[in-house]
Structure 1
Amino acid sequence: MANINIHLLLTGDEIMSGDIIDSNSAMIADHLATLGLRPSKKVTVGDQLSHLIEEMQHLSQQADVLIVNGGLGPTEDDKTAEALAQVLGLPLAEHAVAIQQIEDWCQHHNYPMNDANRKQGILPKDINIIENSNGSAPGFYCEHNHCLMLFTPGVPSELNAMLKLNILPMLNQRFTEIEPHSTKRLQVFGIGESSLQLKLREQIKHWPEGIELGFRAAYPQVEVKLTAQSKPAEKQIDSLTQTIKKLLSSHVIGEDGTQLPELLVQLLAKERQSITTVESCTGGLIASKITSVAGSSSIFGAGFVTYSNEMKTAMVGVSEKTLVDNGAVSEPVVIEMAKGALAKSGSDWAIAVSGVAGPSGGTKDKPVGTVWVAWGNKETIKTVKLFLPFPRQRFQEYVASAGLDLIRRELLGVSETPYYFSKK
């Protein structure tokens, strides 16, 4: 890692109160890592002007680079520009370049510019502007206490674009000693972080020197990250990536930022096939994941949320006798759900789920966390009983992703048994 001292200052009462979770610092760190840089300190403060001034002054005295995130918006509690003006001893004034960017943004979105928008262009006099390609609030930067201070928006999509398009090139140009590091990322589903680490450390006896292994749980997927920290290590990172892919086999769903829903839509579109969903315990989450992907209309025409027994019968034709004899959470019921959804929708593939999401409703035979999954086509319906004793939302998220993963495996012709299959 290059010896450049980088601090982060995250702002906002909503972060301090826990109303939102700070994911922006992780995003910043990820981007910096591509240059071989790593923040050495992170401070979070609310929207109190005195605290902002104090931390900007203090951190700029310690750091080579200070990245301030948040507080650039149009509301009264967005005080970052005002705080910086006091730190620099400069007046606030309308900044012509910033105002022009805001006007262009409003015009592009057919949105009348108002006083709140104009506030985003009132900045410390003659400050340097960073273009915001995804939003209305310009970023800005300055030098203070021999520290490069960079001010970024709190909206994640805006921050992401600004880091990639503006800030990383700026840092790369300023610090000539930076040596960008090669990074490989693998997206894994069905194996937990601790099991992954244990498996890799046990199976790879001679870990290449200079390659750092990292994990990030972005539930329900886990990201495996390899970072080459030297030129010799860069020559080994590709072969190590292939070794890990071979070890983890079908649990690797892709590289970089690959997500299960996007991958499944791509696979189905490639085969010109369609899918339907019929859901009880997940309440439509599987369909939601599929339709969150642009272009999913080409592979998804209908989904069914059959939460009650009556709707299982009315919507997809599950036999009342099957329900009485076996209960809603059973193999015969999910098979009939899948077959009924295929018949009603005319789709090529179906996923059906019925389970006990909890926290109540479980029995000795079917405790909370029990779920039956059926998946397949008109020729073959496969089933599995899983036991996932997780909190309700976590349970639903995992079941939905498991359903997508099982269809992925069918489309790819994978016969290997998933690690997450339960014997219970």
Structure 2
Amino acid sequence: MIFMDPIEFIQKSASSIKNTMLKLKLKYNPFSEKPIRGNTKFFVGRVSELREIGEILGSAMHGSVANAAIVGTKGIGKSSMLNIIYYATKKQGHWVVELTASQVTPRQFLIQLLYNILTENIISMCGTIKTEYLEYSPKILEMYKMLNNYGDKVPIHYPRERIERDLQYLIDEVKDPDKLCIVLIDEADQFAKKSCLSLLQFFHSFLYEEGILTFMAGSPTLMDNLTRISPPIKDRIPKIINMPPLSVEESYDLIKRRLEDAHTEGAEEFEPFTEEAIDKIVEECDGIPRKIIMTCSESISIAIKKNLTKIDEKIVTEAIHTLGISVGHQILNHLTPAQSEIVKAMAKLGGKATVTQLSEYLKKSPGTIGTHLSDICEMGYIYKEREGNNVYYILSRELREVLLKGD
């Protein structure tokens, strides 16, 4: 056996990746899934959604607050939209906090909210209070001291009632009345569970306070999910901003912008991808930004492994197979367990069925089946047709490809 120094092996492997990347006329792989963090050169489309957000912000600055839900399927760009809001409002001098609702208890979330208001808006990076808030320093420093190690273990001596009072103090006393406190919450569907009822009840009163504007991001059924747990929350979040898939033109633009940023000198528009490869990506990814980015990234990875200089349709097909991200699979991943059960039952019944047929097959009430079908239909994953006196619900092409493979 030939001796191989592991350190040299790693270094040679790293160098070979760089050399292959240059063969592809790229300085680096530009298809990163990381948040754009205010880098607007990679942000594509969304003109109507941005305009609506601008109108909501403008109205809130003049006393007419309407909290909003930003909804859409997985990978559609909700987190990027929250990120854009963060930087846009930060530039205007508003207090802004960006939070994720996943895997936290209500109390932990409130602590995180309070801590982020302090560290992102009131206390500088070096740990000192910003000049404009010095007059409130004793109270602010007391909060900061208690929260400074909250990430390791939540201090048991900071009761939830006090957290809520301290939040109220910051909003009412410390914040400039001419500025807003903007709360951005990603993955807000995580609040749609009974254990979060008290948190939703807190939001019901918190979101009614003057000067607070909240954007919650989640699935297309976010508001239905939240109001099922706490019906009054619907009145506090009256605006719903739907995030549709990118248009074909916008999908091409997304790929082009990222490639241009990474191209070496002399590279053509979509190199190293062939025109057929780009067409395949746009067709298969159905305007879902994350799918486009993942497919392009995986295609580049495969090309590097094979030491190629071009990425053709065959490589893209291999990438899609590797990722397993067909549109149909993405839809199934997005559906709730009850919705998934219904579309699978539709497949068992040949791809189309009436409410009555599904009710008998699943042994559930027609009302329950009808409600789920309406939700799935509204999301565009199934459609309905009338045949005589019967209304049939029919699987979309994407779901048929996954659930009726032999069809």
What TM-score do you get using the length of structure 1 for normalisation? 0.27
What TM-score do you get using the length of structure 2 for normalisation? 0.28
More relative contact order, 1 or 2 (CA 8 Å, 6+ apart): 2
Higher strand content, 1 or 2: 1
